[in-house]
Amino acid sequence: MLRTLTPAVIGILVRRGVDFAATEDAVQDALVEAVRVWPTDPPRDPKGWLVAVSWRKFVDATRADTSRRRREVLVQAEPPPDPGEEVDDTLALYFLCAHPSLTSASAVALTLRAVGGLTTRQIAQAYLVPEPTMAQRISRAKRTVSGVRFNQPGDVATVLRVLYLVFNEGYSGDVDLAAEAIRLTRQLAARIRHAEVAGLLALMLLHHARRAARTDSRGRLVPLAEQDRSRWDTRLIAEGVHVLQTALARDRLGEYQAQAAIAALHADARTAEETDWVQIVGWYDELVRLTDSPVARLNRAVAVGEADGPRAGLAALAGLDSALPRYRAVAAYLHERDGDLARAARLYAEAARSAASLPERDHLTRQAARLNADLRT
Amino acid sequence: MARYLLLKHYRGGPTPLTDVPMDKWTPEEISAHVQYMQDFAERLEGTGEFVDGQALSPEGTFVRYDGEGRPPVTDGPFAETKDLIAGWMVLDVDTYERALELAAELSAAPGVGGEPLHEWIEVRPFLAAPPTIAE
């Protein structure tokens, strides 16, 4: 796959002394040419071809722009010898593109372009913004990190955060962002032995396995308990569980492993009734301990409601901020199970008004309508 | 990453701080106001946050279906509609706070005497795609 070569080619040019922004542009141009030329004239050494063409693109761009750049860059007609891969350039590129000085939107865009090899147009379409806006976002991001030394070791946590966002928050356009996030996380996991990298990969695989069952033929959201589990991808589940077990064996627990463990327990249940909610509550306790996140506490309350009954779930909900996203949806669900249908209907309707997405809003509205219909009869 | 709609209203918001209709401004004041809006949009394209911006005519017509084979029923325009949208800008920003900050900047567009208009801008989030990981 052409795009898998992108980070290594960028790395080689950067180590030849070309600045990151110019390199990234040149490699993009070379990728476009490869898509045009390779189908009829495939190179014997794809990476060598990309390096040579990227170098030529860089030289051309520099020549076209010499008056401004004359004093900045010494242009050589022939590329200097490859200094050899002393360090892992691909890894360095992940760190650079997720640098803490970048906003999350910029880090996501830069990672998809420089590490993922997607075009600006594809990224713009995936995030529903105009192409010039995305082009500016990317070039600003490149300027922001231009002073960062390429091989500086970075924080794995920031890289994981970016990959998590790519997986979790995108529209379903022509570019399959979830699949791309998995590819990039897989590539990262192959380069770095880190329990949380494996944990995130497992988390993605286990959730991706449910994709076909998550919406019905009309695009409506199907809650976990009602999903047709025969449509879950058992191959992805097996891989996710294996990756997770290997990670857990390193005994360096983190939030992604804990979330993956919860997803694995759901994957393990052949029916919703078989779900091991007691173990799931245990993992939520870990997750709350690791992150102290209100969202984790909210999800824990759902699990407690399943393990120990709705009253216990409502008790776990007490003390949480009712302004939390999905708080009212959770409260509605627990009150319904506790038999207070009127209160549940009211809460579902309120939850629908504050839903952050259209499928969630429609789902919650239907829940309120279902209860109101029951209450009338 | 979240998308917000910034709405400018001809009418319908909280009581405006200054209430001189635009046709009582000087031509230079109107030009300065329009220029400010254009500069604002251009700057946000530069920061990678601009999605769309449009202005609407105040004259609108209400339309509804009137049954098979019948022409649509129209009503209006209504001179005194309570809420009247003048235009919008769509932004893609990192946080809600950033959306508020930019709406406040838009509200500072110059009006009479080149002074900031302090216009009320309505900020509304778009419904996003549902997150994959929800449990």
Chain A interface includes B135 (CB < 8 A): yes
Assigned domain for A46 exists: yes
Assigned domain for A335 exists: yes
**pLDDT for A151 beyond 90:** no
A213-239: average pLDDT: 93
In angstroms, how far is CA A169 from the centroid of its own chain? 7
pTM: 0.88
Chain A interface includes B79 (CB < 8 A): no
How do residues A93-139 score in pLDDT, each as one tens digit?
A: 999 999 999 999 999 999 999 999 999 999 999 998 999 999 999 99
Assigned domain for A334 exists: yes
CATH: 3.40.640.10, 3.30.70.1060, 3.90.700.10, 3.40.50.300. Which one for B2-125? 3.30.70.1060
Which residue type does A145 have? V
Low-confidence ranges of chain B (pLDDT < 70): 81
How do residues A41-50 score in pLDDT, each as one tens digit?
A: 999 999 999 9
Assigned domain for A284 exists: no
Range A150-184 burial, b when 16+ CB lie within 10 A, else e: bbeebebebbbbbbbbbbbbbeeeebebbebbbbb
Which residue type does A123 have? I
Assigned domain for A51 exists: yes
Assigned domain for A11 exists: yes
Domain boundaries, chain B: 2-125
| Distance, CA of A41 to CA of A375 (rounded, Å) | 70
Assigned domain for A231 exists: no
Domain limits for position A336: 322-377
Domain boundary among A33, A53, A69: A69
- Please give the tally of structural domains in chain A: 2
Retrieve residue A23's tokens: 């390199």
Closest Cβ–Cβ partner in B45, B93, B94 for A132? B45
Q: What is the pLDDT of residue B60?
A: 84
ipTM above 0.95, yes or no: no
A231-244: average pLDDT: 98
Note whether A240 and A267 are within 8 A (CB): yes
pLDDT cut 70: percent of chain A above it:
94
- A27: phi then psi, degrees, rounded to nearest 5: -70, -40
In angstroms, the separation between the Cα of residue B88 and the nearest Cα of chain A is: 16
Q: Which residue of A has its CA nearest to B42?
A: A133
Q: If pLDDT is split at 50, 70 and 90, which confidence band does A239 have?
A: very high
How do residues B116-127 score in pLDDT, each as one tens digit?
A: 999 999 999 999
Q: What is the pLDDT of residue A75?
A: 46
Assigned domain for A290 exists: no
In angstroms, the separation between the Cα of residue B97 and the nearest Cα of chain A is: 14
Q: Do A357 and B45 touch (CB under 8 A)?
A: no
Domain boundary among A69, A102, A124: A69
Contacts of A360 in chain B (CB under 8 A): 130
Q: If pLDDT is split at 50, 70 and 90, which confidence band does A70 have?
A: low
Closest Cβ–Cβ partner in A207, A357, A360 for B133? A207
Closest Cβ–Cβ partner in A103, A134, A357 for B94? A103
Q: If pLDDT is split at 50, 70 and 90, which confidence band does A69 have?
A: low
Q: Choose between A277 and A78: higher pLDDT.
A: A277
How do residues A167-215 score in pLDDT, each as one tens digit?
A: 998 776 778 999 999 999 999 999 999 999 999 999 999 999 999 999 8
Which residue in this structure is represented by tokens 């003390």? A319
